[in-house]
Structure 1
Amino acid sequence: MKTIEISDIQASTIAGMGAVPHSEGVSFRVWAPNAKAVSVVGDFNSWNKEATPLSHEENGYWSVNVPDATIGQEYKYVLFTEVTELMRNDPYARQLTNSVGNSIVHDPHFDWANDDSFQMPNWNEMVIYELHIGTFNVKGEGQIGDFYSAIERLDYLKALGINAVEIMPIAEFPGGYSWGYNPAHPFAVESEYGGPLGLKSFVKAAHEKGIAVILDVVYNHFGPTDMDLWQFDGWSENNLGGIYFYNDWRATTPWGDTRPDYGRPEVRQYIRDNALMWLEEYRLDGLRMDMIPYMRNVNADGNPDNDLAEGYSLIQWINSEIREKFPHKFTVAEDLHTLSSITDSVSNGGLGYSSQWDAQFVHPVREAIIAMHDADRNMDAIAHAITHKYNNDAFQRVIYTESHDEVANGKARVVQEIAGEGDVDNWYAKKRSILGAVLTLTSPGIPMLFQGQALLEDKWFDDTDPIDWNRLSAHKGIAKLYRDLIHLRLNKHQTTAGLSGQHAMVLHLDHELKIIVFYRFRNGGYNDNTLVIINFSQEPAHDFGIRFPQRGHWRLRFNSDWDGYDADFDNHFTSDFISVGVEDPKHLLVQVPLGAYAALIYSLEE
């Protein structure tokens, strides 16, 4: 192997990692501490391995400025070791031809037009819709959805009342079909989804509709396949991953031996840079970090012998910097261990996330609505799911009955779980799945729906099974029900401000009749005080006695049993009420008729 003479090469004076276009060419910088020499090859030098060597900087960094390189050209690094030459894609590449192809010099410029005027919804007024770009809106048989096809459905989301979408991971992964949790190139946007230009176009279009965009990112592992990061510069120990990864027992994760080395400064910087890139360059409004228990602990088992203190501190660093630079951006953790420290402030020793997915909501609520027999519905668990908080803040939790995890991996959509092998359009599946939606959209917390939920999408989530949008016309009434619930949640009619407040009190819990009544309020008073009544039984409750929390005119805002939502529903009659206290005005008894598997929402009106 020929040795490249590097002593006379001038390092780049342009800051930044990877390929950075500027007025006098393109700067290239890469970290390869074990390489003996590095060159960059590409369209600009006819892929000549020895034409463009890089200068050796401190701490294993290499750089050079290439005047002849331009935006759109393909390139790779060649790392020369004692024994071989390694062709590697740029770890910081924003764009690749595909996961096993070449890096592309990306044009960072984009016409954001009036995007600066977009405002992130307040967290207590946010309704999230989780979606998977590859299956959300597929245009033809055998095709894959992309950012541009997803844009076409933004009007549907806006009409539904959604003001934030959380998109499953979009970092370049092997092939075209994937959930996205196998990032091969963390900085590059999946080519089959439309690459970086497609993502920016999607964010811009969403913002124009008043919809925030949150991105799911994966830092608990990389890959495990199609990774140029693996043994990047030829060095490794124990036949493991080399400079970007742990090279001992700490490498092991459920997804492969590819846990990043959170203790190595350059790897910490790499992950930090990735997180900030999405917020700065793509103007994303937040990040959802996947399975952070495996960043805190090797086995996510809580055993202190397996703790990764450096992973914990890395998360604190990232969240602290986001909070300082972008106080309005939203960070959410997937950590179903229900620990207050996840959303506690970094100054208190916590991880500093804005919110976390809440297992104390999703699991008991799913169990309650999926259980075949009414007697098996645990009303105490439902009451706890409604009132649970982290650090005395209801909005430090994201609540849901469906997510990509909860409707796959041996589990299915709620309607399918209820229907079993039967038709998900049956009465039981529709009625009880709606009770889950009511709890999600009326309990304190940040509500989240999963793609297709308002269409009563069946089966389970699969990256090869796109959303069937024909179900929208088949279930227009159900879509209206979800829209009505979301509009009440967001106080669109200025009558239910309590649903966006911190406070919830369970006023009545009937274990025999399976009825729960809870009271929501923000500041209290007219058009704020809101009452939610839910019957978890298939037996209607005729003239069920409820003690309203305040005297006055309580107007019915929602009845899930209305046959306008679905012709199969019973249309059990109920109406407005005027509560009048005689002996004790704080406990005002009203007889309320309640349909089978039905929910009512009332609010106090002047």
Structure 2
Amino acid sequence: MMRPAEPGLGATYLGDGQTHFLVWAPFATTVDVRLLGPTQREVRLRPLPRGYHAATVDDVQPGSRYTFVLDGTLERPDPASRSQPEGVHRPSEVIDPSEFSWTDQGWCGLPLRDLVVYELHVGTFSDAGTFLGVIPYLDGLRDLGITAIEIMPVAQFPGERNWGYDGVYPFAVQNSYGGAEGLARLVDACHQRGLAVVLDVVYNHLGPEGNYLGDFGPYFTERYHTPWGAALNFDGPHSDEVRRYFIENACYWIDTLHIDALRLDAVHTIFDRSAHPFLQELSESVNDVAERRNRRVHLIAESDLNDPRLVRPPLLGGYGLSAQWNDDFHHAVDALLTGARSPYRRDFGTIDHLARAYRDGFVYSGQYSQRRQRRFGAPLTGVEAQQLVIFVQNHDQVGNRVDGERLATLTSFDGLRLAAAATILSPYVPLLFMGEEYGETTPFHYFTSHTDPDLVAAVREGRQREFAEHWDRDAPDPQDPTLFISSRLRPDLADREPHRQLVALYRELLTLRRELPSLAHLRRDTLEVTVARPARVLLVHRWHGPDATILALNFDDQPATVLLPVPGGNWHKRLDTADPTWGGSGSRAPDAVDASQATAVPLPPRAAVLYHRQIAKEAP
């Protein structure tokens, strides 16, 4: 794709009081940059091919405020603004990222197989509600066994309360969180502790309030429609420039703000029928940045399609993304633990669904789906286990319940311990949702702070319609400030029982995952999964060389007795979630199992037991 010469989109401070402005505005004949302040002035940008306008302007320092004036009448903030200090409707600000103080020069990132991801929302994670407010908790997360934090979207959104999916300035870091400098300080602090940073980005839509892209050019198309209206234009006339905008945004996060991975929101609503799809071009561009910077960088897709093409290499007909979220694992565990049988989960509820999630990755890889009333998904042929991210909680699965209930209020502590073991001891990349590790019970609501009364009413009505199918009561008002306040974590719970015991269990599970070779190596071809009937018990046998483990997961409310499929060797119990150490009521599962005998192992209800084969040491 042809690119206008560097510097890139937006306002780029060049030093010595010079700032370069570049904007794509094919709808405008003339574009002026209006520089605000005591000596307000306007400078005409020169037109360039394909609808760009640019100029290098003297006497414009970092901190200067500006807008673009289209055809002499329409004044708008910069679509590629790096800072919106007064919100989405007010002028943009010139910043100089070269002034950020970095200490991570030796940081090269982490491989996918080493990721243990912790998803958080900056506004509700700490009382401060800022990037700097996250930093004091990083040591605790690292000591727990977390290796990466995933930050929900931080592109500038209206007001101060939002999940982040209503962002309208993809390059500007939310001002109320601390702006670009605050994010840089958080990323640097993570890297100092060996933690990677994943940033959630939204390339399938923009929020409604403050969305002025349509005044500049054909960013949107009516050929496709999304739940948020017209789709972004990734394959029609002028789509090269739309692609450039979002690819440059991705590279900005990675190159300038040192982000290690991007989680791509709902890629199934990115519509693109071109021969060289946007997602593939995005992957190629990000890989170029990673190679130039000698860093490991990942693109992780959220998708509702169970489509392995997202993560297959282009040579095999894929888009070359690094990994994708796997909702099927969540649905399988959640249905077993909570008994949820809403229309949304009608495809799940048996132990066989979870067995398939372990064995195949996707539960639906071409089978008939009752919910969709058609065959759904495709097999993950040629896809590695480390390319699937699994979870039992995340912002969607919690916040899109009518009352924002976490798993801790939907199941017992026995169930929480079982869910933790099922997730962390799987052969996939685990993701935890903030507070999960100690059984946080505060809700995580959906909240907004829009200022347009018509939009506020539309969001309320839309939320009610969305929930009408699943719940028989009204949804809370997203604009209610108390929803935001009540969604804040209460980390002091982690110091009380049984929450403290749950934290200790998470730490032990993550230690076992890291230290036992059969658990640390993420593969599906060194795994056997069996269902012990008639109980709802799953037996997961994994191995790497001589090292091997057997994980027994009892999802039944009653005790069960099973024969472990133990090959040769002596097997020792390494973990039992029913042990009083973790707040359980006790267990009769034996401490050792001899493979030479058919040993019947009693399992407590809603418990996980892990056996590890003892490797005999050779005589000196």
TM-score, reference length from structure 2: 0.82
Which aligned pairs between 1:369-448 and structure 2 lie closer than 5 A? Answer: 369-371=337-339, 378-389=350-361, 390=380, 391-410=382-401, 412-415=404-407, 418-419=410-411, 429-448=412-431
Shift in alpha-carbon separation, 1:377–1:61, aligned structure 2, 3 A: closer
Which aligned pairs between 1:189-588 and structure 2 lie closer than 5 A? Answer: 189-232=173-216, 242-246=217-221, 248-250=222-224, 252-257=225-230, 259-263=232-236, 264-296=239-271, 308-310=272-274, 313-326=277-290, 328-371=296-339, 378-389=350-361, 390=380, 391-410=382-401, 412-415=404-407, 418-419=410-411, 429-458=412-441, 460-462=443-445, 463=447, 464=484, 465-474=487-496, 475-491=499-515, 495-503=516-524, 504-506=526-528, 508-521=530-543, 523-525=544-546, 528-541=547-560, 544-549=562-567, 551-566=568-583, 569-581=584-596
Q: Root-mean-square deviation (CA), in Å?
A: 2.3
Moved more, 25-34 or 275-284: 25-34
Deviation of 1:149 after TM superposition, in Å, equals 0.3
The amino acid that maps onto 2:413 is K
Deviation of 1:244 after TM superposition, in Å, equals 1.8
Deviation of 1:37 after TM superposition, in Å, equals 2.0
Give me the whole-angstrom Cα distance separating, in 2, the residues matched to 1:34 and 1:178.
31
Deviation of 1:580 after TM superposition, in Å, equals 4.0
* Contact 2:119–2:149, Cα closer than 8 Å, also in 1: yes
The amino acid that maps onto 1:384 is R
Matched, 1:591 2:580: no
Tell me the percent identity: 31
Shift in alpha-carbon separation, 1:507–1:225, aligned structure 2, 3 A: closer
The amino acid that maps onto 2:355 is A
* Contact 1:129–1:165, Cα closer than 8 Å, also in 2: yes
Moved more, 436-445 or 282-291: 436-445
Corresponding residue for residue 426 of structure 1: none
Q: Deviations over 1:89-148 (max 9, x none)?
A: 111111111212211111111455441222423212211111111111124xxxxx1100
* Contact 1:457–1:468, Cα closer than 8 Å, also in 2: yes
Corresponding residue for residue 475 of structure 2: none
- Which SS does the other structure have where 2:395 is aligned? coil
- Which SS does the other structure have where 2:519 is aligned? helix
The amino acid that maps onto 1:95 is S
Q: Deviations over 1:335-394 (max 9, x none)?
A: 122111111112222121111111331211211111289xx9512111111112422411
* Contact 1:14–1:27, Cα closer than 8 Å, also in 2: no
Give me the whole-angstrom Cα distance separating, in 2, the residues matched to 1:540 and 1:13.
68
- Which SS does the other structure have where 1:589 is aligned? coil
- Which SS does the other structure have where 2:284 is aligned? helix
Give me the whole-angstrom Cα distance separating, in 1, the residues matched to 2:396 and 2:309.
23
Deviation of 1:195 after TM superposition, in Å, equals 0.3
Corresponding residue for residue 21 of structure 1: 13
Q: Deviations over 1:24-55 (max 9, x none)?
A: 4111121222323222122467233xx42222
Q: Which structure 1 segments of 5+ residues have no match?
A: 1-11, 140-144, 233-241, 297-307, 420-428, 582-587
Give me the whole-angstrom Cα distance separating, in 2, the residues matched to 1:398 and 1:440.
10
Corresponding residue for residue 305 of structure 1: none
Give me the whole-angstrom Cα distance separating, in 2, the residues matched to 1:602 and 1:184.
51
- Which SS does the other structure have where 2:229 is aligned? coil
Give me the whole-angstrom Cα distance separating, in 1, the residues matched to 2:416 and 2:6.
56
Give me the whole-angstrom Cα distance separating, in 1, the residues matched to 2:275 and 2:391.
27
* Contact 1:151–1:202, Cα closer than 8 Å, also in 2: yes
* Contact 1:372–1:418, Cα closer than 8 Å, also in 2: no
Corresponding residue for residue 469 of structure 2: none
* Contact 2:157–2:169, Cα closer than 8 Å, also in 1: yes
- Which SS does the other structure have where 1:481 is aligned? helix
Shift in alpha-carbon separation, 1:502–1:190, aligned structure 2, 3 A: same
Corresponding residue for residue 84 of structure 2: 96
Q: Deviations over 1:460-493 (max 9, x none)?
A: 42251111212211211111111111111122xx
The amino acid that maps onto 1:55 is R
The amino acid that maps onto 1:291 is A
The amino acid that maps onto 2:144 is L
Give me the whole-angstrom Cα distance separating, in 2, the residues matched to 1:387 and 1:480.
28
* Contact 1:173–1:184, Cα closer than 8 Å, also in 2: yes
Q: Which structure 2 segments of 5+ residues have no match?
A: 342-347, 362-379, 448-483, 616-620
The structure that has the greater radius of gyration is 1
* Contact 2:332–2:349, Cα closer than 8 Å, also in 1: no
Shift in alpha-carbon separation, 1:552–1:43, aligned structure 2, 3 A: same
Give me the whole-angstrom Cα distance separating, in 2, the residues matched to 1:371 and 1:312.
43
Give me the whole-angstrom Cα distance separating, in 1, the residues matched to 2:220 and 2:340.
47
Shift in alpha-carbon separation, 1:127–1:459, aligned structure 2, 3 A: same
Give me the whole-angstrom Cα distance separating, in 2, the residues matched to 1:480 and 1:127.
16
- Which SS does the other structure have where 1:219 is aligned? coil
Deviation of 1:556 after TM superposition, in Å, equals 1.7
- Which SS does the other structure have where 2:132 is aligned? helix
Give me the whole-angstrom Cα distance separating, in 1, the residues matched to 2:134 and 2:431.
18
